[in-house]
Structure 1
Amino acid sequence: MEITPLHDGWTLRAAGGEVPDDVAHAKVPATVPGSVHTDLLAASLIPDPYLGENETALAWMHRADWRYETTFPARPAADGEHVELAFDGLDTVATVTLNGTEVGRTENMHRAFRFDVTGLIQEHNSLTVHFRSALARAGEIERQVGTRPHSYPHPFNAIRKMACSFGWDWGPDLQTAGIWKPVRLERWHTARLDRVRPLVTVGPDGTGRVEVVADVAADTGGQVSVRATLSAPDGTTVAGETSGVDGASAVVRLEVADPELWWPHGYGDQPRYRLGVALTDGAATLDRWERRIGFRDVVVRTEADDVGTSFVVEVNGTPVLVKGANWIPDDHLLTRVTPERLARRLDQAVGANLNLLRVWGGGIYETDDFYDACDERGVLVWQDFLLACAAYAEDEPLAAELEAEARENVVRLMSHPSLVIWNGGNENLWGYMEWGWQEQLDGATWGWRYYSEVFPRAVRELDPTRAYVQGSPTSPGFAPWELAPNHPDHGLVHEWRVWNQIDYRHYRDAAPRFVAEFGFQGPATWATLTRALDAADLHKESPAFLLHQKAPGGNGKLDRGMAPHLPTPADFADWHWATQLNQAHAVRYALDHYRAHWPHTAGAIVWQLNDCWPVTSWAAVDGDERPKPLWYAMRAAFAPRVLTVHERDGGTVLAVGNDTDEPWAGTVSLSRQGFDGTVLATAEQPVEVGARSVGLVEVPAALAEAADTSREVLVATLDDVRVVHPFAENKDLALDPASVTATATAAPGGYEVTVTATSLALDVTVLADRLAPDAVADRALDTLLAGESLTVHVTTAAELDPLALTVSPVLRTSNGLHAVVRV
């Protein structure tokens, strides 16, 4: 196999639509892989769509057509040689022309395409890729197959393009186009590897097995063979076998006695083996394929019990408390997401104690860099098939594209040990039953065949080592008309009444079996916000600010969601802090509840980890990669060991959560004390909680009931873990607004900020990015009792005024939102 990348010498120009004159008459250098937006940005022909109101100013691009062109030298095909033009990804409606001859058309961003150009290749070659407006083509398909319900204005469900490219309630409406993945010329003779499927299992006897199924494209019935070799994590070769090609495929089986097992983060290590596959013709090697694999056994248990239907992920026989977050594309302009950026994001996921990311169905099948990063860190991947919040026609041209896309990506991703679940789609079963779709559909197809037949068949036939679930939310084992898809006692639940309709205290109304999606909004960090908006737009009613708040009625929901819990903010700076704080409080409140019900509630996946641009959203990490207060709240809630306070059966209990492999035994110290540190009542309780389990400790009435709910807290401590539980909402507490003093000094890599409390101080946080864009604090949302101190380490390359780190609006507490000291 001879491979020649074709990434050089490309140009871009407009080819149709109502395009501004300066763009219409320009031919600019094009970066491949890349997109029209990134190329026009590089040529200074469009403004940054992430800033101000520029997104709206670029709406003309939705209906524009584009032409990419390049030339390249090559040699004509030799006798018996095959020459193919391979595109790993085209976004989206493309016509490919080589030397004046059309070689193919594509309408699916999520597939790779290969065109035989053996008879066309010559010494000097001209290659053109013409992109039509995806919106225009989606409209044509919608008229052809009939309108289907969808959640946003554009018919994103009529074309196989990243759904959120058309806008979402956290993302911009940019509708990208371009050659978004690598393109190359491939030459081969005799045979090449068409696809390789490594089926990795661990048997009941502990033996690791790899069944390599290699499909071969060949031009003769020659005696080609496939050899597979396996190397251990230390590089030692531990297995190797060869098999002849029978027809168009070969099967090679390898075994490893007692392999090193791959585990999720927090449950063990992540050793990976190197699997190499070679296609040979005698002594000649025709083609090669290589991946890193991991030995682990994964089962998703959906079993009926006396409550309903469980949903438990087991890895290597161990039930895993899923601590998850949903994942969206990390930049709307996808080709700007580098392996280094993905590594930073996965480090933030692990830093927040996450062990699972759900790749959401309105985005993309991520690049292998993403799954490699998850493999390396032990972050489990739940992968949606890419259907979201819409009904999907089961007619052509969509049906064949969806099946081909599903089968291709199941094979592409199956080498990754992190991938554990395939999910039919996001909220489509729920939408069909409860969003009024049936009346609109009037009997038309809506996607059920994909979820019940096409996708499970693809997983079963191609990669039966993975679990498949028909959708999220869903009641496993039931069609949506047989049992409500979002039933809290059965399988997967999405909780969106909170945020949209009711207060976050209602998270504790139910104990679902598994929460696959829930969340609460908050604005981006200050540095991100002020990069995206001018100073005049820093108020919540400015058109630019509202353009970066995509949720319908989002600001009103932020205010209504905050009102029962926090004092009314005095100005925009306070509002920014308070809404970020309320986001963190809401999600922490839910996570504490869900975790306390383990193993009945077997996991929680927060919406969402990341953002794709600067926006007010549900993310824990904003579009400029900065952690919001929510990230610190998730880190605390998902810590290996936690203490949380709950009302159960008319009493107060302390939940002792132990997500480690060792029992947690000791004596819990309990006290009820005033904000000034006065101890009003104490108790001690012995406790022993087994590995990977939760224990409940009853709190004596003398500590569980306050004499003055506005001035007292319950404090519980076990070893170095503590919880401080107020008896009333923050807004009703008699908190001293000036409850802390602080000093700051320069330290290696940045600064140290030492904070001391003169009385109870809640949510102690240093918003260091307000002083320097690169500044980040190592901790946030801390509680200090009267007389206690802590040190916050701020990392930055900037020279800061130490005094600025010790006062508002950089040093913050929720106390500071109280305008006066209550007496």
Structure 2
Amino acid sequence: MSSYHPLHDGWTLTAAESTPIGAASPVPATVPGCVHTDLMDAGLIPDPFLDDNEQAVAWIGRTDWRYQTTFDWAGTADGQVDLVCAGLDTVATITLNGRVLGETANMHRHYRFPVGDALRPGANTLEVRFDSAYRYAERERDRLGDRPNAYPEPFNFIRKMASNFGWDWGLTLVTAGIWRPIGLQAWDGARLDEVRPLVTVEDGRGRVRLHTRLERRDAEPVRLTARVSGHGARVDAQTVVAAGQRDAEVELVVPDVRLWWPQGLGAPDRYDVELTLSTMDGERLDSWERRIGFRSVRLDTGPDAHGSAYTIVVNDVPVFARGVNWIPDDALITRVDRGRYERRLRQALDANVNYVRVWGGGIYESDDFYDVADELGLMVGQDFPFACAAYPEEEPFASEVAEEAAQQIVRLAHHPSLVSWTGNNENIWGHEDWDWKEALGDLSWGAGFYFEVLPELVGRLDPTRPYWPGSPYSGSDELHPNDVTHGSMHVWDVWNTDDYTRYRDYVPRFVAEFGYQAPPAYATLRRAVAQSPFEVDSPALAGRQKAVGGAGKLARGLAAHLPEPHDFDDWHYLTQVNQARALSLGVEHFRSHRPVCMGAVFWQLNDDWPVISWSTVDGDERRKPVWYAMRHSFAPRLLTIQPREAGPALVAVNDGADEWTVAVEVVRYTLDGQPRAKFGVELSLPAGSSTTVALPAELTSHGGPDELLRARAEDGQSAWWFFAEDRDIAYPEPRFTASVEEAGDTVLVTVSAQTILRDLTLFPDRLDPAASVDEALVTLLPGESATFTVRGSRSLPADQLRDRPVLRCVNDVR
């Protein structure tokens, strides 16, 4: 029987050369882990996430490092023993007892090295030397010729997480280390080298074809036995693999199968599948176990009256992707464990997200990420890791990319959440629009990967899932890759040059990126930056802004919509409000054009450190106000008021699995809460549909800066429409009463409005970093009230909970 022995203990880390922290001497190392976390644990470097420490540790990425451990081996000489490395970051030489086992240069691959000739009974010394990723990448750049990319870093010349080299939301931390598990596998006779499950559904029957490749030491016939079980069903099958044969297939069919459904359309049901390899006498040699989900998925890209579609279809149901972009959740990614994946993906789910795009500048995430997505019913679109650059197609990269992609396609094939593969992030667009062509001349730039290598691998290894060459991409060389009427699109002129109301100029088929910045939570900034008090234009705060011109773009956005901030507290609150307004406007506009548009995937869910960025959940895992706005705008049943040719119109969207029948009342109010006109309508929306209702002139034609519309459904859905920007509205000075009550492990803050309160938000983290709140951005008319539930803290000072900067509304900026 195959056996596995982890090698995660007893490691030390040593610099292979002189460093700014003094003479090289071993320090304890954590495996899996990386150099930065080991040096921090040893007290040798400061936390790069704090203050301006990023620059203080920049030398680490240009240094060579040695990991070493000693382990005892008492195994027998029979059979074979392999060193199995699930992830080495990145340019590594592996040595056992002085014998070189192999060399690697790809963070995204796993490796296996036979060690029988080097392994000995008793003590064994294993060393992994990591050469500087910078030096490797710069050497390859000089050898092959420089190629354009978005940043002055050589990330496109090494198969390593691109965002390690910095991004417009990320710091530069070029890591090294044994970043995924490492251990010894002993086996004899034969073992399961590869199991590739292809799962399909037809006429209510689930089919699993287990394509299996064996590694063999003998030529004896062996038996494969497979089982699928779950939900009261059990199906068994077996096949004999003839002497010397390496490839085999076992097929199982489950009748009346329970389907895996995306969030909101049904239960994400899964089944257990087991595959056992044994001798003909029944001796167990190896086994493989996973959880699978039965579902069909395809990408509808057919032509229609509006151009050509980009619609994800699951179990023959078109699904609107209410989505987020995912980046690595920590710049030091070995700190991200299953618990953290679950917290982050649940935050997405709780914001009514059903789709997560894994962006191409990061990694293929661990199985924990996809398993949590499977469990929660979250669809995942996976980019191959190419982003914002021209990539060389020469060797060794051609072989590395092909092997890496093949390994990852097979590794992830059993996850029902994975619904699509995409060739790259913005590289086809960049080649077309970013002045690459003249700089490249005849140099390769990655096209062969996106249009030949990757689609061939996906089609051959996993034909159950669709592949799309790039994000964005319009489906044809004859079309601009970011064409609004074809395929997938990114919308970035809004952030870079235009006001966010420009979202309304686009009706894309599927918008895979659009976003707007805001600072992180106050407690997150306070932990990360020692400066006190904060100043908007301080160098310390500027170090948290990685986007070119980001501070000016935030200021431009504020000036277009909101009153001028008087101090840091005003700026912090108003920029967070403006981010929420921008994304809500974009999301609700795109959703209002269902089914022409069938995806709104905003940038971005998460951060990898405490930074001013486009995230909805910041680097310390705190939800920004925009998260609450997205929870509303992504509600499966949405009411929204949208501008149309004849004036503001009521739009209802039903992304649910059932019909939505509801009564809606739309009222025009004055700022002091007096109703001026009313309109009622009964709506009945089939599942997966939207409808637009023209509003009568008495509601829309008389509106001025001192009036507003509110739509309310009997089931609690609501929508607002203001006839002017906040900066042009003569809001009254806010008046309200607020009571504070402790209720068990929560604090209840109830605010009763005596005037309109626009985007009322409570920031309890300003009083206790552990405190969080259940709601934000609440607008109240006079006489209305709202209760905020604060968790994670007790005995907060009641007077501060009732006043700024903890309790804010737009009309307190005067």
Please report the TM-score for the alignment, with normalisation by the length of structure 2: 0.98
Q: Secondary structure at the match of 2:709?
A: strand
1:354 aligned partner, one-letter code: V
Give runs of aligned pairs for residues 316-395 of structure 1, distance below 5 A: 316-395=315-394
Residue 89 of structure 2 aligns to a residue whose secondary structure is: coil
Q: Cα deviation per residue 1:103-138 (whole Å; 9 max; x = unaligned)?
A: 100000000011111111002211110011100000
1:196 is matched with: 195
Distance (Å, rounded) in 2 between the aligned partners of 1:358 and 1:371: 12
Code of the residue aligned with 1:727 in structure 2: it is F
Q: Which amino acid aligns with 2:487?
A: G
Q: Does residue 713 in structure 1 map to residue 708 in structure 2?
A: yes
Q: Distance in 1 between matches of 2:51 and 2:519?
A: 15
**1:232 paired residue number:** 230
Distance in 2 separating the partners of 1:14 and 1:512: 51
Cα deviation code 1:175-210 (max 9, x no counterpart): 01000000001111110100100100001x121100
Of 246, 252, 256, 2:254 maps to: 256
1:302 counterpart residue number: 301
Corresponding residue number in structure 2 for 1:409: 408
Q: 1:424 — aligned with what?
A: 423
> Does the 8 Å CA contact 2:223/2:238 hold for their aligned counterparts?
no
Q: What is the rounded CA distance, in whole Å, between the counterparts of 2:310 and 2:745 in structure 1?
A: 45
Residue 519 of structure 1 is matched in structure 2 by 515
Please give the secondary structure, in 2, of the residue aligned with 1:516: strand
Equivalent position SS for 1:535? coil
Which one-letter code corresponds to 2:525 in the other structure? L
Partner of residue 90 from structure 1, selected from 82, 88, 100: 88
Distance 1:238 1:774 in 2: 49
Partner of 2:20: 20
The reply on whether 1:118 has 2:116 as its aligned counterpart is yes
Q: How far is 1:321 from its partner?
A: 1.0
Does the Cα contact within 8 Å between 1:201 and 1:295 map onto a contact in 2?
A: yes
Matched, 1:42 2:41: yes
TM-fit CA distance, 1:662: 2.5
Amino acid at match of 1:272: R
Distance in structure 2 (CA, Å) of the matches to 1:649 and 1:768:
43
Q: Say yes or no: does 1:722 pair with 2:718.
A: yes
Aligned-pair CA distance for 1:799 = 2.8
User: By how many angstroms is 1:78 displaced?
Assistant: 1.6
Q: Which amino acid aligns with 1:569?
A: P
Amino acid at match of 1:6: L
Structure 2 residue aligned with 1:286:
285
Greater displacement, 578-587 / 794-803:
794-803
Q: Distance in 2 between matches of 1:193 and 1:463?
A: 19
- Which residue in the other structure is 2:239 paired with? 242
What secondary structure is seen at the aligned counterpart in 1 of 2:755?
coil
Tell which deviates more after alignment, 118-127 or 590-599.
118-127
Answer yes or no: is the 8 Å Cα contact 2:225–2:236 preserved in 1: no
Distance 2:663 2:461 in 1: 52
1:77 and 1:83 in contact (8 A); partners too: no
| Separation in structure 1 between the aligned mates of residue 248 and residue 411 of structure 2, nearest angstrom | 18
Distance 1:656 1:397 in 2: 53
Correspondence for 2:623: 627
> Does the Cα contact within 8 Å between 2:90 and 2:133 map onto a contact in 1?
yes
What residue number does 1:7 align with? 8
Report the alpha carbon displacement of residue 722 of structure 1 after superposing the two structures with TM: 1.6
8 Å Cα contact 1:706/1:727 also seen in 2: no
Indicate whether 1:797 and 2:793 are aligned. yes
- Note the alpha carbon deviations across 1:391-421, whole angstroms, 9 max, x for none: 0111011111011110000000010000000
Q: Contact (CA 8 Å) 1:350, 1:377: kept in 2 or not?
A: yes
Amino acid at match of 1:176: T
Segments of structure 1 that go 5 or more residues without pairing to the other structure are none
1:614 is aligned to 2:615? no
Task: Name the CA distance, whole Å, in 2 between partners of 1:808 and 1:736.
Answer: 17
Report the CA distance between 1:77 and its aligned residue.
Answer: 5.0
Greater alpha carbon shift after TM alignment, 654-663 vs 352-361 = 654-663
- Looking at structure 2, the residues matched to 180 and 755 of structure 1 have their Cα atoms a distance apart, in angstroms, of 49
* Residue 140 (1) aligns with residue 136 (2): no
Alignment of 1:478-517 (within 5 A): 478-479=476-477, 482-517=478-513
Q: Where does 1:173-184 land on structure 2 (aligned, <5 Å)? A: 173-184=172-183
Matched to 1:240, the amino acid is A
Deviation at 1:759, TM superposition (A): 2.0
SS in 2 for 1:645: strand
**Partner-residue secondary structure (3-state), 1:815:** helix
**Cα distance, 1:397–1:77 mapped onto 2, change above 3 Å:** farther
Query: Is contact 1:41-1:47 (8 Å) kept?
Result: yes
2:742 is equivalent to residue 741 of structure 1: no
Query: Does structure 2 conserve the Cα–Cα contact (< 8 Å) formed by 1:241 and 1:252?
Result: yes
SS at match of 2:649: strand
The offset of 1:652, in angstroms, is 2.3
Distance 1:812 1:680 in 2: 28
SS, match of residue 676 in structure 2: strand
* Residue 724 of structure 1, CA deviation: 2.1
How far apart are the structure 2 equivalents of 1:292 and 1:539? 51
Q: CA deviation at 1:665?
A: 2.5
User: What is the CA distance between 1:798 and its match in structure 2?
Assistant: 3.9
Please tell me the root mean square deviation across aligned C-alpha atoms, in Å. 1.2
CA–CA distance in structure 1, aligned partners of residues 513 and 112 of structure 2: 37
Per-residue CA distance 1:46-90 (angstroms, 9 max, x = gap): 0000000000111111211100011111136524x1111111000
Q: Distance in 2 between matches of 1:690 and 1:272?
A: 28
Distance (whole Å) between structure 2 residues aligned to residue 747 and residue 668 of structure 1 = 34
Pairwise mapping of residues 665-744 of structure 1 onto structure 2 (< 5 A)? 665-707=661-703, 709-719=704-714, 720-744=716-740
Residues 726-779 of structure 1 show CA distances to partners (whole Å, capped at 9, x for unaligned) of 111111112123243211111122200101111222111111111111111111
Q: Is the 8 A contact 1:83 1:187 kept in 2?
A: yes
Does the aligned pair in 2 maintain the 1:521–1:616 contact within 8 Å? Answer: yes
Q: Once the 2 structures are TM-superposed, how far is the Cα of residue 551 of structure 1 from its aligned partner?
A: 0.3
- Runs of 4+ aligned structure 1 residues displaced above 6 Å come to none
Counterpart contact for 2:742–2:794, Cα < 8 Å: no
More deviation, 162-171/236-245:
236-245
Q: Distance in 1 between matches of 2:235 and 2:812?
A: 62
- Of residues 552, 565, 570, the one that matches 1:556 is 552
Q: In 2, Cα distance between the equivalents of 1:278 and 1:676? A: 72
Percent identity among equivalent residues?
49
**Structure 2: where are the runs of 5+ without partners?**
none
Contact 1:302 1:312 in 2 (8 A): yes
CA contact under 8 A between 1:537 and 1:544: conserved in structure 2? Answer: no
- Residue 474 (structure 2) aligns with: 475
Post-superposition offset of 1:537: 6.7
Q: Are the aligned partners of 2:591 and 2:653 in contact in 1 as well (CA < 8 Å)?
A: yes
Instruction: Report the more deviating stretch, 123-132 or 729-738.
Output: 729-738
Q: How many residues align?
A: 809
Q: Which residue of structure 2 aligns with residue 396 of structure 1?
A: 395
State the Cα distance separating 1:511 from its structure 2 match: 0.5
- Give the corresponding residue for 1:578: 574
Residues 610, 620 of structure 2: 8 Å contact kept: yes
1:646 matches 2:642: yes
CA contact (8 A) 1:537 1:543 kept: no
Q: Distance in 2 between matches of 1:316 and 1:126?
A: 52
TM-score between both structures, scaled by the size of structure 1: 0.97
Residue 751 (structure 1) aligned with residue 747 (structure 2): yes
Q: Aligned partners of 1:261, 1:239: CA distance in 2, in Å?
A: 19
Compute the displacement of 1:26 (Å).
Answer: 2.7
Task: Give the counterpart letter for 1:553 in structure 2.
Answer: G
Q: Distance in 1 between matches of 2:676 and 2:480?
A: 49
Q: Tell me the secondary structure at the aligned position of residue 106 of structure 1.
A: strand
The amino acid of 1:337's aligned partner reads V
Pick the aligned partner of 1:660 from 652, 656, 661. 656
Structure 2 counterpart SS, 1:604: strand
Give the distance between the partners of 1:537 and 1:796, measured in 2 at CA. 25
Deviation at 1:272, TM superposition (A): 0.7
Q: Aligned letter for 1:275?
A: V
Return the alpha-carbon distance in structure 1 between the equivalents of residues 373 and 804 of structure 2.
38
